[in-house]
Amino acid sequence: MKEIHFKEIDSTNLYLKKHYSELDDLDIVDALHQSAGKGRMARVWEDSSGENLLFSVLIKDKNLFPEFGSLSLLAASSIMATLKGLGLNGVAVKWPNDVMVNGKKICGILLESVSLGSEMEALVIGIGLNVNQNEFEGLPNATSIYLEARTGYEINALRELVYTNIRNDILMLKMGDKSYLNRIRQANYLIGQQIDFVYNGQNVAGSVKGIDDDNKLIVDINGDTIHLSTGEVTFHK
């Protein structure tokens, strides 16, 4: 297993997407700062240099490619377990890719695939976990381990903890164990909440009932139940 470290890079996800052919399954790349950190749908992931965990895991095992839809919730569950292990309370997962602590976002996950023609070649799980940053200008909904626990953490040690948990959870998934879903269901931030989203091109509102076995969000719209895939979903505050 290779670990590649950068002081600064554009994006650790971008690095693995460019270099996957020279690397192996479960290799990781991390950086102290990203100059072009990415969120979903061209959004930006911000960081203050040297204070947060920013890393990406490469998946080249083709057996996992059909599990594309599972991996961001799986990673969220691994991170939730890590944070609980550090003693944090109020940890929850906001479907499909955020880890929240006491209602604020502490971690975002960006799952991407690399394809050559119609063949999938690799998956990349990108993780941004706020660790020691104590101010988030312009991000009132962001928090960090430091802000929640009032203790700083050594980033490299924390990366090893998170990575060990993710690797173990991936091994379990490969053996058909989907218990990450139960852990997510027990800490489903959106349960019972009203959400707005676009469905079949229409703006609709519904209330969240749960998460199904295919990682989809179960939503009730005026008595009709739908199962929502990852896509653009806008939430009420």
Binding site for ligand BT5 (CB under 6 A): 11-13, 34, 37-40, 43, 45-47, 54-56, 97-98, 105, 108-110, 126-128, 130, 139, 142
Judged by beta carbon, residue 69 or residue 172, the one nearer ligand BT5 is: 69
CB of 153 to ligand BT5, least distance (A): 15
CB of 209 to ligand BT5, least distance (A): 22
Judged by beta carbon, residue 4 or residue 172, the one nearer ligand BT5 is: 4
Judged by beta carbon, residue 47 or residue 148, the one nearer ligand BT5 is: 47
Distant-in-sequence, close-in-space partners of 41: CB < 8 Å, separation ≥ 6: 232
HEC per residue, the chain: CCEEEEEEECCHHHHHHHHHHHCCCCCEEEEEEECCCECCCCCECCCCCCCCEEEEEEECCHHHHHHHHHHHHHHHHHHHHHHHHCCCCCEEEECCCEEEECCEEEEEEEEEEEEECCEEEEEEEEEEECCCCCCCCCCCCECCHHHHHCCCCCHHHHHHHHHHHHHHHHHHHHCCCCHHHHHHHHCECCCCCEEEEEECCEEEEEEEEEECCCCCEEEEECCEEEEECCCCEEECC
Torsion angles phi and psi, residue 19, rounded to 5:
-110, 10
CB of 181 to ligand BT5, least distance (A): 20
What residue is closest to ligand BT5 based on CB?
Answer: 108
Judged by beta carbon, residue 138 or residue 176, the one nearer ligand BT5 is: 138
Judged by beta carbon, residue 182 or residue 198, the one nearer ligand BT5 is: 198
CB of 234 to ligand BT5, least distance (A): 11
CB of 148 to ligand BT5, least distance (A): 13
CB of 175 to ligand BT5, least distance (A): 27
Judged by beta carbon, residue 38 or residue 183, the one nearer ligand BT5 is: 38
Do 12 and 34 meet the contact criterion of CB atoms below 8 Å apart? yes
